[in-house]
Amino acid sequence: MSRKRASVRREEILAATIEEIESSGLRTLRVADVARRLGLSPSLVIYHFVTKEALVAAAFAHAGENDLYRARRIAATGRSAREKLDEVIAWYMPTGSTRSWKIWIDGWSAGLFDAELRATFAALDKEWKAILASLIDAGREAGEFTQGADSAQTIATRILAYLDGLAIQAMFHTDAVTRELMIEWVSAFVAHELEPPS
Amino acid sequence: MSRKRASVRREEILAATIEEIESSGLRTLRVADVARRLGLSPSLVIYHFVTKEALVAAAFAHAGENDLYRARRIAATGRSAREKLDEVIAWYMPTGSTRSWKIWIDGWSAGLFDAELRATFAALDKEWKAILASLIDAGREAGEFTQGADSAQTIATRILAYLDGLAIQAMFHTDAVTRELMIEWVSAFVAHELEPPS
DNA sequence: GTTTTAACTGAACCGTGATTCAGTAGTGGT
DNA sequence: ACCACTACTGAATCACGGTTCAGTTAAAAC
């Protein structure tokens, strides 16, 4: 069987772990399932990650970093702040491959009682806010957005909160909250936050 | 040992289950912990609820109904729609005894892969929306709120989404989002939804 | 081409925790 | 006071799944 360098195999295992959480949930996640998905032995997974808990933590961090990477690339584009903000927000919403949201709801739940996971999520969230805040500041300087009373950081927090909440609604009431509606509502929210009627 | 009627004991067990989930989380919940909390044997818990899964489902439904009951009582008060709406919203937010939110994040997570739980949450959410929508309609008829383009139901959905999202932020970033800030932000959100600048 | 390293496996171990079951004893009804 | 009912327990069962460990072999190093 094809042997691979540790770094490569670890990435594979992390990806498989996320897929498994995505499709079956964290509560029923078995090391053996992750292994089978790659045609490997459970022992190997432990060999690389020592414990299941560490595997899960690494998998969430990995998935989060991937999403952030993509978001940063969008933000580095040469378009208007508003366009970039819209696209970053669209990417944050459910649908993107890794951004399937189920894993994040599972992650929050686990994070409630796992300090390491909680720290991971806090760090990821901070990065997302930084990206949004930076786009907001850029837009303000370019005159695309008005200079409101609240800091870009604060507005970023609110936007992310709204996105999280809508994602949950969409997750549980597919009928009541479609992706189209979400986009429309978020768009209005952002407009109200950044472009008060003059 | 004090023996009780089944209905009484069941209530006790449900309450203890919620407390246990609240303090230690759903993933590590053991039937034995719930039992110990009441000084009972694990067998009794199973005797009353047949399986752990059923116990958890019943506990969430029970907690949800309790919260709704309180919300309905607030809504039945004889004050202005706006005042009642504010208080219902305040009750929905983290801090209320049962409304400690940790359990709901755990619940969402479990609901992702458990059809029965998902149905329970859907039903509870529907009730919350109905309460809010009814207050919104009442306020509109009384002329407290303006008649916007969106239905009361739709606005209720958005408000609840924002509340859920803010609750998550508050849960994970206690420093960045305090309860006071949440109240302020939600208040502004509601005002914008119901009282557009005339 | 040999040696060394490190990826990898299979079988066994082991703790955990839900559920079962046979029996015990309050309690309400008569 | 007795009966019937049902709340309740303790010990045993049983499956499950993470982790360990002793060994195997591909591949890198020289």
Residue A47 has pLDDT above 70, yes or no: yes
Q: What is the pLDDT, as a whole number, of residue B97? A: 54
Cα dihedral sign, A168-A177-B120-A94: negative
Q: What is the pLDDT, as a whole number, of residue A132? A: 98
Residue A115 has pLDDT above 80, yes or no: yes
Q: What is the pLDDT, as a whole number, of residue A1? A: 65
Q: Give the tens place of pLDDT for each residue, A60-100.
A: 999 999 999 999 999 999 999 999 999 999 999 877 555 68
What average pLDDT score do residues A109-128 get?
Answer: 95
What average pLDDT score do residues A129-147 get?
Answer: 96
Chain A residues near residue B113 by CB distance under 8 angstroms: 24-25, 27-28
* B21 vs B149, more confident: B21
Q: Give the tens place of pLDDT for each residue, B149-159.
A: 899 999 999 99
Cα dihedral sign, B129-B134-B140-B142: negative
- Its pTM stands at 0.94
Q: What is the pLDDT, as a whole number, of residue B186? A: 97
Of B24, B168, B192, which is closest to A164 when you measure between CB atoms?
B168
Copy the structure tokens of residue B122: 């859907």
**Hey, are the CB atoms on B125 and A172 less than 8 Å from each other?**
yes
Closest CA to B60 of B11, B120, B125, B130: B120
Q: What is the pLDDT, as a whole number, of residue B1? A: 62
A25 at interface of B, judged by CB pairs closer than 8 A: yes
Q: What is the pLDDT, as a whole number, of residue B2? A: 82
Contact between A31 and A10 under an 8 Å Cβ cutoff? The reply is: no
The separation, in Å, between residue B15 CA and nucleotide C20 C1' comes to: 25
